[in-house]
Amino acid sequence: MAIQAALAAGKILEKYYETEILKEFKEDKSITTVADRESEEVIKKVICETYPGYCILGEETGYTNNKGDYTWHIDPIDGTRNFSNCLPFFALSIALEHKNKIIVGVVYNPITRSLFYAETGKGAYLNDKKINVSKDNSSHAILVSGKGKSAEDRKFARALMHYLPERFAGLTVRDFGCCALDLALLAQGGVEVGIELGLDGYDFAAGVLLVQEAGGKITKLDGSSWKFPDNEFIASNGVFHDLLVEEVQKQKKKLGI
Ligand code: IPD
Ligand code: CA
């Protein structure tokens, strides 16, 4: 069902992609478009047909139905800035949470036709092929990072992106602007580390399950156990996770955060 919803919403994104779409600015200065709204509407319609009464939390429309043990988390476009600038680096994200655990996750980029999905205990898949995190150590690693709107998160993310490559020779930094894809690509083995700071649950809900089901590791920044929807975490392929935690902590101390 979540896959069906993703494919239906993907058609909306394809329809609007590379058209002259109006960028609207929200109060927090982030961008939204008619495509974000239509995509969310389609996803919610498909969910409500199969799971009437379930709580849904969508970026564009907030909560639908009362809070219960299960919640669907929807980001109708993660990476709206890329989408509206005709950069094909965005995705929609759909996830089902049960009591602080994500049990279903789908991330879909309709432009590259990359459909990532996972269900607890059943592994992670990209277009029906099982995926796993990479085994690369820090000397061949790519680090990605997503950050929320606060000045502090942004400062910290910038500092880490500068500092960590100095500490780990061979570590390269990329800034994709799409947290859902950061995590999906980590699950696929394309990147080794994702540090996500201050984002909303719907940005990373599906991605975290992909990482976990692909054999990756997610902890809080201090290395302690992480649970949804904590929005500060290090996700990695696990190979040098503890060393990363050490370095992130050092930098945090240095900045007085
Ligand atoms: C964005 C992405 C990105 C993060 C931005 C978010 P949105 O989400 O998740 O990774 O760095 O701050 O705004 O707004 O395009 O859904
Ligand atoms: Ca969004």
The pLDDT tens digits of the residues spanning 209-257 come to: 999 999 999 999 999 999 999 999 999 999 999 999 999 999 999 888 7
Which ligand 1 atom is the nearest neighbour of the CA of 81?
15
**79 C-alpha to center of ligand 2: Å?**
6
Angle between helices 201-213 and 179-188 (to 10 degrees): 0
- CA 231 to each of CA 132, 151, 195, 214: distance values in angstroms, whole numbers, following the listed order: 23, 15, 10, 20
| Ligand nearest to C-alpha 74 | 2
**24 C-alpha to center of ligand 2: Å?**
13
**220 C-alpha to center of ligand 1: Å?**
20
Question: What span, in angstroms and rounded, lies between the C-alpha atoms of 17 and 28?
Answer: 24
The pLDDT tens digits of the residues spanning 183-196 come to: 999 999 999 999 99
Question: Mean pLDDT across the stretch 121-150?
Answer: 94
Q: What single-letter amino acid sits at 254?
A: K
SS3 43: helix
Q: Is 58 in the pocket of ligand 1 (CB under 6 A)?
A: no
**Is pLDDT larger for residue 29 or for residue 141?**
141
The pLDDT tens digits of the residues spanning 36-67 come to: 999 999 999 999 999 998 999 999 999 998 88
Question: What span, in angstroms and rounded, lies between the C-alpha atoms of 125 and 119?
Answer: 9
Question: What span, in angstroms and rounded, lies between the C-alpha atoms of 163 and 134?
Answer: 23
Question: What span, in angstroms and rounded, lies between the C-alpha atoms of 221 and 207?
Answer: 17
Q: Is 79 in the pocket of ligand 1 (CB under 6 A)?
A: yes
The terminus-to-terminus CA distance of the chain in angstroms comes to: 42
Which ligand 1 atom is the nearest neighbour of the CA of 146?
11
Question: What span, in angstroms and rounded, lies between the C-alpha atoms of 94 and 3?
Answer: 9
Q: Is 153 in the pocket of ligand 1 (CB under 6 A)?
A: no
Phi/psi at 211 (nearest 5 deg)? -60, -50
Q: Is 78 in the pocket of ligand 1 (CB under 6 A)?
A: yes
Q: What single-letter amino acid sits at 53?
A: G
